[in-house]
Amino acid sequence: MKRFLLFLCLSVSISVFAQTAEKKDSIPPKKWKFSTKITFLLNQSTFLNWTAGGANTIAGNININQEFNYKKDNWNWNNKILSTYGLSYVDEKGTRKTDDRFEYNSLLGYKSKNNWFFSFFNNLRTQYSRGFDYTKEPNVAISDVFSPAYLSFGPGMLWKKSENQFINIAPSTSRFTFVSNEFSGNFGVDEGKNSSFSLGFNLSSYYKFNVAKNITMENIVALYADYLDKPQNIDVDYQINFLMKINESLSTNLGFHTIIDDNASTRIQFKQLFGLGLNYII
């Protein structure tokens, strides 16, 4: 929990830094743009003398989406931090974690011609707290903060039509996977070691558009093939998010997240999230 609070403070501090930077001058520099969106997703169900049965549940997620982007002349530098944490309480089962994610994305581009840029990307993915397999008794720990943590970076070419539509191709991507001693031997890290290295092909894309009035669809795709180990096994990370706006403060959020990674699991990972969102934009 202490490490979770540390990461949360880090995310919030970046948000505060962004606001402070904007307030230093009455007219903020046009080359930097900062934004922070905080969303609370709430789900709740209560049963009393309900003959069909059911368990009382309450669940909540907090999502923090922060962007700080630089643009001047032929240079573009986009930075995004995605933080998500969720808990649920179910009668007789207690409190359980439902979502946990920390991700930092950086994409630097120098314009070449038309919509093409020379690029360099950096990605860091991990989680805030310990994860368990709740299907086993007693519950078995399967992950922890920085176990695993993935650090990827590499040069490439970026096709960017707008902030809402781009594809980055990085054919020489370095990826490091980190784990603690407890999880050594998992996530593609050899037994007795705390890290592994791979070199491969990375493709990432982002596409956001309006499906209908007040309904936005967001697609985020990341593909990775390791040249050094089974390049035919392509890692897939695909997210689809729907935002149905009610007003400036309320929205209905629906998200699907699919991960295919043989080093993490032999099965396809799938997550779906739906709830009423309370939005706060800075």
Least confident of 43-47, 110-114, 150-154: 43-47
Distance from C-alpha of 69 to C-alpha of 189, rounded to nearest angstrom: 34
Enumerate the β-bridge partners of residue 33.
69
Look at residue 27 in the predicted model and tell me its pLDDT. 56
* Fold held by 2-281: Outer membrane phospholipase (ompla); Chain C (2.40.230)
Q: Which residues of 20-50 are buried (b: 16+ CB within 10 A; e: fewer)?
A: eeeeeeeeeeeeebbebebbebebeeeeeee
Q: What's the mean pLDDT when you consider all of the chain? A: 87
Higher pLDDT, 103 or 27: 103
Q: At residue 17, does pLDDT exceed 70? A: no
Q: How far is CA 119 from CA 76, 112, 138, 259, in A?
A: 9, 10, 47, 25
Distance from C-alpha of 224 to C-alpha of 203, rounded to nearest angstrom: 7
Question: Could you report the per-residue pLDDT of 26-71, keeping only the tens digit for each?
Answer: 455 568 999 999 999 887 777 766 666 677 888 889 999 999 999 9
Look at residue 8 in the predicted model and tell me its pLDDT. 42
- Report residue 88 as tokens: 């649920």
